[in-house]
Structure 1
């Protein structure tokens, strides 16, 4: 996961232009990756929560992705890039009547239902406006608890607020409003999986109960939305996901269960490897036998390591041949929780050197807590063969304090 020479040169140029920490996105690398995903035997949606930056949305739009949108803010950002509302899927556990009305007003007609209450609210609006709505039923399956399962942001085998059990969606329990066209089901409970066989086995284990629900509703050529969960390697020894095996698993699923379509909502896997977070070293010191590198940014810009205890890969932007040593990397917040990991860096590391965190194209800035302690916001920029484009410059706390 070392920086390519082309990426390093772009980041070196950007670092000379930026006074503070910044995010940078490789649009050429992203587009090449997205082109490779076009072979998927599935309809691909982009989970906008992963990264709602305009240039990222535009890149995915150009490659024909649909957009999985969970808030009015995301909706307006996607529409502002010229995306047709027919290519937007509304997901998320909370959809108030006001939320649903806003989405309907903006032309969205495909919704994932998380509860009977959501169905009632959406049907009322559709009835009043005399429109038809396409829906998927979000299913949460009970799984046997794995005592070795690590924390999973989607719940894994734990009960969550996402969806209902298959029994709660059966026709004898739930009445489908006349205003709805039932497309199929949505089922997604695990995230950031790197083993393609594990993904395929999870889908295969879920399908009998999902298929029983689809049969009960007698849906011709049903849709099964498998969500996302495709992982990217953060640690150096991890292998990349086998995309061809994923595609084989999807083909097998469609054939075996006679599905009309599989849908997937890609976030991290679509954009994660093509983003970088850059921050300067502010201090280097030893304390009780531990080497510390304290950077200007930190968890207020890159929160994931504090949430998951899994570090982003990092390297110094200044190439050198000095031996590597372990540094505990901390940020500018007044808490020991602001730790970005213990990672190998050159022992010649100096104050003022830039550190580059890779795999930061998803769940980076917008997942973090940029207002804590009133530090400057990081800039966001893109780079490609046409040069560097700063989409949002760094801004001081006065920009957002009231």
Structure 2
């Protein structure tokens, strides 16, 4: 490449070029993901150089085994929201005591199963869940920690700057939770509150303002229901600059701000559940160009893989950044980049790419370590499932092979 974008290091660019364009070790014919575990290790170590917050990894962001193992070695705990995520984390040798169960759809049966498997930290999102947790804990003679998830709404005319006023199934209002007393649930330790209703925040100032607004009503709720508020879980939502506009969060400022929030709330522990902020930068998606054309004076590229592997651009209007894998000295030109699906939704964005990009060239997308393949729609049109690879210690290793549609079609 003539110029390396900020999200693509020269070292990984050279390695991908060698593996794809020269040795052909990495087969990208139908699209594939590559995760740089060395970059991930360094990033996670920098996040842990603080003593203000306890860090959890939101497994939904990337449940690949080697990614989980890397986070484990960095001292992260794990936030799981389904039985499948729990099974994947346990299979990596993670102790169940280091697992937090979140998610709005926890059934009575799932709660019993999680407790039987040793999970001891839960976020209750409804009165039913709280009652089921109490019953299951009593039956198993255990006392798990339980955090109540609160959904706040701001007064009319004071719109939450992060869009958190939309009603969601996550948690309950303060008024609903005020109808309980912690003494009504003796088999669980109701010791904290969970609040999270925003996403991909890129402003330290706005995030701090939001955290400040949340503390008074949460502390009041704890007092009203007889809770000693020991833990405040602020969820995640820390943003990534997908649009490459030169904006983003300062981790050191986050730690400074959260130290103030911790003191203001008077809690023993402050938790964050990081997803994209932990793993986005380590991931890449590669796909070849299968067609190039002009359409009503607009240049278009069609790739082998699109939202069947990378759905996020279609639902957020925030494309992953992209570059041509090979070196080019051509002038840049605006291209609409589409995937192979028979729907207008399958558009990965409009990008400035070298004018000489052509059929069989390979594009590499960055910041794909989070919300990539497992957030995609791989079954529509029965295209091949993308493979996943990791780069570590100078070696590329295939963790999950590409699969044809035969493995799920009946």
Equivalent in 232, 235, 240 of residue 248 of structure 2? 240
Q: Is the 8 Å Cα contact of residues 322 and 347 (structure 1) preserved in structure 2?
A: yes
Task: Measure how far apart 1:337 and its partner are.
Answer: 1.1
Q: For residues 35-58 of structure 1, what are the alpha-carbon distances to aligned partners after superposition, in whole Å with 9 as ceiling and x for unaligned?
A: 000134100000000000001100
Q: Is the 8 Å Cα contact of residues 214 and 222 (structure 1) preserved in structure 2?
A: no
Task: Measure how far apart 1:145 and its partner are.
Answer: 6.0
Q: How far apart in 1 are the matches of 2:183 and 2:169?
A: 21
* 1:4 corresponding residue in structure 2: 9
| 1:2-401 superposed matches below 5 A | 2-15=7-20, 16-17=24-25, 18=27, 19-40=29-50, 41-144=52-155, 156-170=164-178, 176-220=184-228, 222-401=230-409
Task: Measure how far apart 1:322 and its partner are.
Answer: 0.8
Q: Is the 8 Å Cα contact of residues 223 and 260 (structure 1) preserved in structure 2?
A: yes
Q: Determine helix, strand or coil for the equivalent of 1:228.
A: coil
Q: How far apart in 1 are the matches of 2:155 and 2:64?
A: 38
Task: Measure how far apart 1:101 and its partner are.
Answer: 1.5
Q: TM-score, normalised by structure 2?
A: 0.94
Q: How far apart in 2 are the matches of 1:304 and 1:286?
A: 26
Q: More displaced, 215-224 or 22-31? A: 215-224
Task: Measure how far apart 1:215 and its partner are.
Answer: 2.5
Q: Determine helix, strand or coil for the equivalent of 2:48.
A: helix
Q: Determine helix, strand or coil for the equivalent of 1:108.
A: coil
* 2:3 corresponding residue in structure 1: none
Q: How far apart in 1 are the matches of 2:285 and 2:157?
A: 34
Tell me the C-alpha RMSD between the 2 structures: 1.8
Q: For residues 103-130 of structure 1, what are the alpha-carbon distances to aligned partners after superposition, in whole Å with 9 as ceiling and x for unaligned?
A: 1121001100001011111211112222
Task: Measure how far apart 1:400 and its partner are.
Answer: 2.1
Task: Measure how far apart 1:359 and its partner are.
Answer: 0.7
Q: For residues 39-90 of structure 1, what are the alpha-carbon distances to aligned partners after superposition, in whole Å with 9 as ceiling and x for unaligned?
A: 3410000000000000110011001111000000000000000100000000
Q: More displaced, 284-293 or 216-225? A: 216-225
Q: How far apart in 1 are the matches of 2:262 and 2:242?
A: 31
Q: How far apart in 1 are the matches of 2:215 and 2:305?
A: 44
Task: Measure how far apart 1:240 and its partner are.
Answer: 2.5
Q: For residues 284-339 of structure 1, what are the alpha-carbon distances to aligned partners after superposition, in whole Å with 9 as ceiling and x for unaligned?
A: 10010100010000010000111111111000001211111000000000111100
Task: Measure how far apart 1:144 and its partner are.
Answer: 4.0
Which consecutive unaligned segments of at least 5 residues does structure 1 have? none
Q: More displaced, 251-260 or 320-329? A: 251-260
Q: More displaced, 252-261 or 20-29? A: 252-261
Q: How far apart in 2 are the matches of 1:13 and 1:98?
A: 50
Which consecutive unaligned segments of at least 5 residues does structure 2 have? 1-5
Q: How far apart in 2 are the matches of 1:220 and 1:156?
A: 26
Task: Measure how far apart 1:146 and its partner are.
Answer: 7.2
Q: How far apart in 1 are the matches of 2:32 and 2:17?
A: 12
Q: How far apart in 2 are the matches of 1:395 and 1:88?
A: 30
